[in-house]
């Protein structure tokens, strides 16, 4: 399969649905054959039952997009990096997603010293090069996913919350926000290889989101796949 290619939806096509507390992640496999705006409209039209051209958007104070002319509650977040594109749709769950291709040539410590907390920098300094690259992008995508879920400003909030990823935790590694003021679920997915993919959902710990992952060459042909998280967290902040 190449990339997720958006087709124009019609009123006769069945709508996709989301159960309460459910999040669907749509991930391209290979190069994307359409622009991200077309891709976004095509998928959201399947949830709303509206024609893609009829969807109207507005933006919050810091640029977070919202649908304004549908009776369906649709929270969503879009990210594009390298030749991959990902869309998270959360129904009534505020959600943020971020995807970043790993670039071994990037001077990650220079960026970390500018945008990361001292604890995050110390954790990165203690790692060998390959593990440092992975953790840098994991931290970066967690921060961006959080900002997208909150609808805040990346420039103002990138260093507002630090994260520690406890690789020694049994099973799935633990993501520890330090500090935060919102109940939230954080997750890092195993795929795609060579990327970091993070999700943030603003839900209390007793309402863990149910995540579905879809990959394929077109939305109508996408396959549902098991979601494997290599790190996760659900922290109750007081």
Mean pLDDT per 10-residue run, the chain (238 residues)?
A: 40 67 87 77 89 90 82 88 91 92 94 91 93 94 91 67 75 71 84 91 82 74 77 62
pLDDT computed for residue 203 by the predictor: 87
Q: Is residue 9 part of a domain?
A: no
pLDDT for 63: 81
Q: Give the Cα separation of 105 and 129 in Å (integer).
A: 11
Beta strands, E only, 39-183:
57-59, 65-67, 75-81, 84-91, 95-101, 162-166, 173-178
User: Is 37 among the domain residues?
Assistant: yes
Inside any domain, residue 11: no
pTM of the entire structure? 0.87
For residue 111, is it within any domain?
Answer: yes
What's the CATH code of the domain at 211? 3.90.470.20
Q: What is the pLDDT of residue 3?
A: 42
In the block, tokens 């954790």 appear at 123
Backbone torsion region of residue 151, taken as left when φ is above 0, otherwise alpha when ψ lies between -120 and 50, otherwise beta: left
5, part of any domain: no
Contact (Cβ atoms closer than 8 angstroms) between residue 36 and residue 224: no
Q: Which residue has the tokens 């690259």?
A: 133
First to last CA, the chain: 46
pLDDT of residue 192: 84
Note whether residue 60 is domain-resident: yes
Closest CA to 186 of 139, 130, 116: 139
pLDDT tens digits, 106-151: 999 999 999 898 999 999 999 999 999 999 999 999 999 999 998 8
| Domain-embedded: residue 210 | yes
Identify the domain containing residue 108 by its residue range: 22-235
Q: How many CA atoms lie within 13 A of 58 on its CB side?
A: 5
For the CA atoms of 153, 205, 235, 133, the dihedral, rounded to the nearest 10 degrees, stands at -70
Number of domains comprising the chain: 1
Q: Which of 86, 48, 88, 115 is nearest to 191 (CA)?
A: 86
């Amino acid at each position: 399969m190449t990339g997720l290619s958006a087709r124009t939806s019609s009123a006769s096509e069945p709508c996709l649905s989301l159960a309460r507390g459910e999040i669907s992640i749509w991930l391209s496999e290979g190069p994307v054959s359409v622009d991200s705006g077309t891709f976004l409209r095509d998928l959201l039209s399947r949830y709303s039952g509206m024609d893609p051209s009829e969807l109207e958007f507005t933006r919050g104070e810091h640029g977070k997009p919202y649908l304004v002319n549908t009776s369906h509650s649709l929270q969503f977040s879009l990210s594009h990096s390298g030749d991959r594109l990902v869309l998270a749709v959360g129904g009534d769950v505020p959600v943020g997603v971020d995807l970043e291709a790993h670039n071994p040539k990037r001077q990650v410590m220079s960026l970390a010293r500018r945008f990361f907390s001292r604890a995050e920098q110390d954790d990165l300094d203690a790692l060998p090069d390959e593990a440092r690259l992975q953790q840098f992008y994991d931290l970066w995508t967690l921060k961006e996913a959080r900002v997208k879920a909150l609808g805040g400003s990346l420039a103002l909030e990138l260093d507002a919350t630090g994260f520690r990823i406890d690789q020694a935790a049994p099973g799935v590694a633990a993501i520890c926000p330090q500090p935060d003021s919102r109940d939230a679920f954080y997750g890092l997915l195993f795929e795609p290889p060579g990327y970091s993919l993070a999700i943030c959902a603003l839900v209390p710990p007793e309402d863990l989101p149910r995540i579905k992952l879809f990959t394929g060459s077109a939305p109508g042909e996408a396959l549902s796949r098991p979601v494997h998280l290599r790190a996760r967290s659900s922290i109750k902040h007081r």
